[in-house]
Amino acid sequence: MSSIDSLEVSCPTIFVVIFCFLILHYLLTKKRYGRFFRNIPILRMLPGLLMKRHQIHDFTVKILEFSGLTFLFKGPPFAGMDMLLTADPDNIHHIMISNFSNYIKGSGLQEIFDVYGNGIFTTDSEMWKNQRKSIQAMLHHQEFQRFSTSTMTGKLKSGLVPLLNHFAEEGTSVDLQDVFGRLTFDTTLILITGSDPRSLSIEMHEDELAKALDDAGKGILSRHVKPRFLWKLQNLMGLGQEKMMSEANATFDRVCSKYISAKREEILLSTTNGEGEDLLTSFMKIDTTKYKLLNPNDEKFLRDTILAFIIAGRDTVAFTLSWFFWLLSENPQVVAKIRQEIIDNGQEDLDRLVYLQGALFEAMRLYPPVCFGRKSPIDSDVLPSGHKVDANSKIIICLYALGRMRAVWGKDALQFKPERWITESGGLKHEPSSKFLAFNTGPRTCLGKHLAITQLKMVAVEILQNYDVKAVKGQKIEPVLGFMLSMKHGLRVTVAKRCST
């Protein structure tokens, strides 16, 4: 064992964890909240968090269900772990809409997410406003929307269909989550840089950028559940997941620099009129007088922008599709209804596939691609729930728990029911965005919502029309402990071609 490995294994935190477990077993009671979190001296509620860290998503559901949708977690003094957890739509509306200007991402979040730089997801104030304004103009441009649709269509025909045909002919299982991740990674990179990494192939080779994104996601969640001084120390010494974060950061710098250099050379030699431009090209040509804080010549700005778009476009769609097809495998009657809707309405006009969209929304309600959000008040405030929040305190909005609260969604909150999204007249039922938060809400509502829904429907229609997909029996399906809600062990399925009718 190397000296670094030995140092990490002998880290004092191991003894702290053991000590916490012993205290927890001794102090837990069967009283209402005691069996979840006991506020003990010095360590306060940290032992309970450590005990349940591997089931943190479902544990948070229980905590918020019993505590009336909002719960104050207390960590050890000076550890910077105190946080208010909430799944209360009234609190969410207050934070994200009615008192939006008082609630920011905050320096604490930017520090935790430092590997992603100053992209739109980590910035506040004027920088955020200018980035959002420019991105909105690009995404909503008709030429880009056509470029997006043609890109997904091409990747389905040249990538997904041949791959699924291969596994159908071989009769072997495949990790569908991995397939979807490769599909959305390729399409997202094409839309951003114009280059196709071709990770979606029968060879299923590993892409270094995709791996770095996965490693960074694990490290970010680790920073959320560790005292700040601990992960800072590990970062300084290059240990554990902090070492992985540093390596991921180096990969981001190198790969993005390669794309930026290639794009600059391409623009110098290009004589096109800009139709169907990728986003990196659009940013390099941006009108700096209109968007004053954006500098198309700043390599770091372009690097951070590339990462922000990849994060938004890759995992959100891929993970939604994974949970969606797993839920379909458990509910064959829903599959039958979607296929009938496609027959009745055709696949050309995706807007007419209302039941399909309801089923996708239902999957996102139960398994939101981003499982929590973080906010920090500039000034102290009182939430609608009556909880007082201090300036610069930490508020965690629990999206996973929100979709499972019976107080919000009714007694059947844990059931997969696409019908809850359908009106009596057969239209799509509207739910307040502070209740269904998969696309965020208020001024930070997802700019790519329509684009994402279109991509989800295109993939779902292509597969459901042409293949029978069955989940392999006996596999363990559970969410990973991460910022993005992926499946911990993937989704093994078998694929069979459907007979054409």
Instruction: Please report, in range form, the residues annotated as the binding site for heme.
Output: 446
Provide the 8-state DSSP code for 70. Answer: E
Instruction: At 316, list the tokens.
Output: 């959100």
Instruction: At 27, list the tokens.
Output: 């102090």
User: Taking the CB of residue 175, how many other CB atoms lie within 10 A of it?
Assistant: 17
Looking only at Cα atoms, what is the longest distance across the chain? 73
Neighbour-count burial of 272, counting CB atoms closer than 10 A to its CB (0-12 exposed, 13-18 middle, 19+ buried) = exposed
Q: Is 433:440 a contact under the CB 8 Å cutoff?
A: yes
- The label of the residue with tokens 């114009």 reads 194
Q: Which long-range contacts (CB under 8 A, 24 or more apart) does 427-434 make?
A: 427/354, 428/354, 428/357, 428/358, 429/358, 432/89, 432/93, 434/89, 434/90, 434/92, 434/93, 434/96, 434/97
Please report, in range form, the residues annotated as the binding site: 446
Q: Which of 24, 322, 20, 318 is nearest to 152 (CA)?
A: 318
Distances, alpha carbon 190 to alpha carbons 83, 107, 214, 309, 459, in Å: 39, 32, 19, 11, 17
Fill in the amino acid letter for 38: R
d(C-alpha 237, C-alpha 277), whole Å: 43
Cβ contacts of 151 within 8 Å, gap of 6 or more? 187, 190, 191
Instruction: At 159, list the tokens.
Output: 């990538």
Q: Is 143:276 a contact under the CB 8 Å cutoff?
A: yes
Radius of gyration, alpha carbons of the chain: 23
Instruction: At 29, list the tokens.
Output: 């009671």
Q: Is 454:285 a contact under the CB 8 Å cutoff?
A: no
3-state helix, strand, coil in the chain (%, to 5): 55, 10, 35
